[in-house]
Chains A and B, each alone.
Chain A
Amino acid sequence: MNTAALTAQPVASPHAHGGNSVTRTMFRVQMALVPATLYGFWLFGWPAFFLWLLTILSCLGFEALSLKMMGVTRIKATLFDGSALLTGWLLAMTLPPWAPWWVAVVGGFIAIVIGKQVFGGVGQNVFNPAMVARVALLVSFPVPLTMWVSPLPLTSLAAPDFIDGLRIFLTSLPQPDAMASASLLGYTKTELSRGIDLLHSLAGDHAPVLSWIGARSGSFGESASLLILGGGLYLIGVGIISWHTPAAVLAGLAIPAAIGHSVDPTHYLSVSAHLLSGAAMLGAFFIATDYVTSPNTVSGQIVFGLGIGLMTWVIRTYGGYPEGMAFAVLLMNALTPVIDRFIKPRVLGRDRKGKPLDIPETKEA
């Protein structure tokens, strides 16, 4: 084939463009993340800020390095399309807020090099890079990755100042017991394994209602479920994502949760606890909607989303890990090519199988 014909100055129509660009799309997603991120900074202080910054920088650094090693000529354009930055941002959102510096660097390496560039760069990866890094880190370094810190708002006296924050971030000293805490999902899982049912374990300090305002321990960007929901609704409003995937994820999680909770409230968490804790909102609106690793068609996205929601519920309820969103996303990522193969839009003038429609026998006015 004459490849010059494809790469030369386009002569085919259209001669106008809608004005959308990859950079603009990525920028809007980042805008949608800002409120929850700022809230996270306030809630968890300087160490969280350093973690966020270094994760993004390491993603950009590994992206630039990979592009250079592969001999890509347009490094700058690719680097600033915003995709590596977004990967880093999303990864930071899923990490424990006081995770040490090397988690950010190793995470950036796994996300960009192993999760993305090995597959051929932007648009080619099978799995969501941020989730690949999240899961790889969790499996490899379980201790720092499950070290949750109690919310210490910046305005409170106990919050570390800039220097202390830097020290916490760089030295990775074990956190004082007073500050350590468990996430809601982790706590209930532990208590259930100790034979304490949910009705007792969720009384008092661990009431799920705290999830509503987000002042709880957990990953850096997962706490403010409502702010994330707001960001997601903004993305739907400006047309970056469609409502199908998030709705399907939340439905896939909420439906089994509702059934379980109504059957046995002592062993199954309620719908609101499921939806507002952990990575449910972040996963539904920002992770499952990743363009590259999710199906192309609306029907495919619904199947994909339902799968993620259901898998998340199963892992959270019966699995060994308290949170299952990342695993569920990776599993459904693997199924995306299959979904895309079987679920295709109907072509105008053809039936679902691709056969031309019949010509009607009778013609009436």
Chain B
Amino acid sequence: MGFMNLFKHFLGDDWGVHPDDHKRPAADQPVRVMPVPARLYLPLQQHLGGPARPIVLVGQKVKKGELIAEAQGMVSAPIHAPTSGTVAAVTEITAPHPSGLTLPAIILDADGADEWIELHGCDDPFALDPAEIGKRVASAGVVGLGGAAFPSAVKLIGASKAKVTTLVMNGGECEPYLSCDDRLMRDAAAGIVDGIRIMLHATGAKVALVGIEDNKPEAIVAMQAAAAGFDSVQIRPVPARYPMGSEKQLIQVLTGIEVPADGRPADIGVIVHNVGTALALRTAVRDGKPLISRLVTVNGNCASQPGNIEVRVGTLAEEVIAFAGGLKGDGLGLARRVMGGPMMGMQIPHWRVPVVKGTSGILAFDTVEVAEQEPNPCIRCGSCVKACPMGLLPLEMSSRIRNEAYGEAIDLGLKDCIACGCCAYVCPSKIPLVQYFVHAKGELAAQDRAKLRGDATKKLALQRQERLEREAREKAEANAKRKAEREAAAAAKAAAEAAAKAETQGESA
């Protein structure tokens, strides 16, 4: 493998980057379970799609696992109380987002009892109808735990309809610093494999390929042992390389098939799920427990005790860090706060931001790690071209975007960009390339929205004009008709009168 990598590197067939993974020592520490904090902050949108709709009132008492906000729309997920307690407020809190904008959330005061509602598990999920599994997963609020947080049930049901044949399990965890999936695979391999088998049953896929990067040998061994009895679950070590965990890249490495640019994995008979999601799905189906906690990696040079912590959803990052041993020197030298991984995660303005279902890491970086520097001019070295896993030309795209030539940027493949950050990672001039692409995508989306609005207004105006014309025409027609009728009536009357006159005349004659 090492030789092949070197050979491929020599040939230039070497997409992606090989960042220093910084996974240890955090990955080797045993998981610590954080006690329930006094107050939990639960954003209504912790997933892709429509936000959930709160169904509790302020002051209402809820039990652990009780539904507090229901899914709304086709793509959405419900939210459950992570512990028993009282709803303190339904209000706006700082969102886990670089903007620092607010987001509606339910605030829950824990009562300390941590008392479950009545659970409806299932002893034999394989006897269940696939549609029933989808329903249970949906009602448990399970979303993709890799970071994108796409509602899992939507994917499962879609896959079952599309008749997929292969389930690709993402155990790559290619983001540096993160080790929560690694830890799960080491500690709960049997549960993950069981979850994968339930997924196979729910989707109708024949085989599950579990891709695990070869920098996690312990996880590979544990998963191989757990999957030993099952032919349908194959553990496939893959080379450690970022972004191996990206959907299209992992599918290509494991199945050899490329997902068409305008298609989805289901189009080629593949569905991708994260290993952590498999475990959450198993818990949801077998135990009837909704998704209310997750494993979070606390890491970065400023973290005094890096490691993985099991955290209730809604816990503030501040409290997670405090539980993990705080920051070195009380945060002296802290340069950047990040939620998620360093490559695709989000910078957050302060630590009073809650852990949501998709939060895989809380990272406290110092100035050395962030390596902040004013960008220099592009020297066209082509590092970004070599690094881009999609085969794009980041330097050309960014120069077009700088000139506001968004159309040309699209022609160069802006819409194929997966924002993985490889280009900016290798750029010797430290140009924030992803920033350019995000900016351009936002600008284009705004243009599209403006165009839609314009089109809608135009359509309405046209319709109004048509309606007015039609009304005028109808009015004129009605008038003409009435006039004709009046005239006809008058003529008839005249004729009748004339006839009557003639008759009387005739009679008189």
Interface residues, chain A, CB within 8 Å of chain B?
1, 5-6, 10-22, 24-25, 74, 77-78, 81, 83, 121-124, 242-244, 291-292, 296-298, 340, 344-350, 354, 356-360, 363-365
Contact = CB atoms under 8 A, between A and B. Distances in A.
A350 B371 contact: no
A301 to B, nearest CB: 8
Contacts of A356: 260-263
Contact of B428 (A21, A359, A365): A21
B94 to A, nearest CB: 15
A359 B370 contact: no
| Interchain residue pairs A-B with the least CB separation, the first 8 | A14-B421, A363-B269, A349-B261, A356-B261, A10-B432, A16-B342, A12-B435, A357-B260
B258 A348 contact: yes
B462 to A, nearest CB: 32
B391 to A, nearest CB: 4
B22 to A, nearest CB: 9
Interface in B366-408: 369-371, 373-374, 376-383, 385-386, 388-393, 395-396, 402, 404
A17 B370 CA distance: 7
A14 B261 contact: no
Contacts of B370: 15-17
Nearest to B395: A296
19 contacts: A16-B343, A18-B17, A22-B429, A25-B381, A25-B428, A74-B374, A77-B376, A83-B379, A122-B377, A123-B378, A347-B261, A348-B391, A349-B259, A349-B262, A350-B260, A357-B260, A357-B261, A365-B206, A365-B207
The A contact surface, by secondary structure, is loop
Nearest to A357: B260
A365 B168 CA distance: 12
A330 to B, nearest CB: 17
B31 interface: no
B206 A14 contact: no
Contacts of B411: 354
A13 B344 contact: yes
Given A123-B379, A347-B390, A12 B430 contact: no
Contact of A348 (B206, B373, B389, B426): B389
A13 B436 CA distance: 11
B56 interface: no
B380 A291 contact: yes
Interface of B: 10, 12, 17, 19, 98-99, 163-166, 176, 206-207, 248-249, 252, 257-263, 267-269, 336, 338, 342-347, 363, 365, 369-371, 373-374, 376-383, 385-386, 388-393, 395-396, 402, 404, 411, 413, 416, 419, 421, 424-430, 432, 434-436, 438-439, 443
Contact of B363 (A6, A15, A121, A350): A15
A350 B342 CA distance: 29
B329 to A, nearest CB: 20
Contacts, number: 183
A14 B435 CA distance: 9
Given A14-B342, A19-B371, A360 B268 contact: yes
Given A13-B419, A15-B345, A348-B248, A359 B260 contact: yes
Q: Max chain B CB contacts within 10 Å: which of A19, A25, A296? A: A296
Given A123-B377, A292-B380, 15 more contacts: A12-B434, A13-B344, A14-B344, A14-B421, A14-B434, A16-B176, A123-B379, A296-B393, A344-B393, A347-B413, A348-B416, A350-B260, A357-B261, A358-B260, A360-B257
A346 B13 CA distance: 12
Contacts of B402: 6
B432 A12 contact: yes
Given A22-B429, A345-B393, A13 B343 contact: yes
A308 B248 CA distance: 38
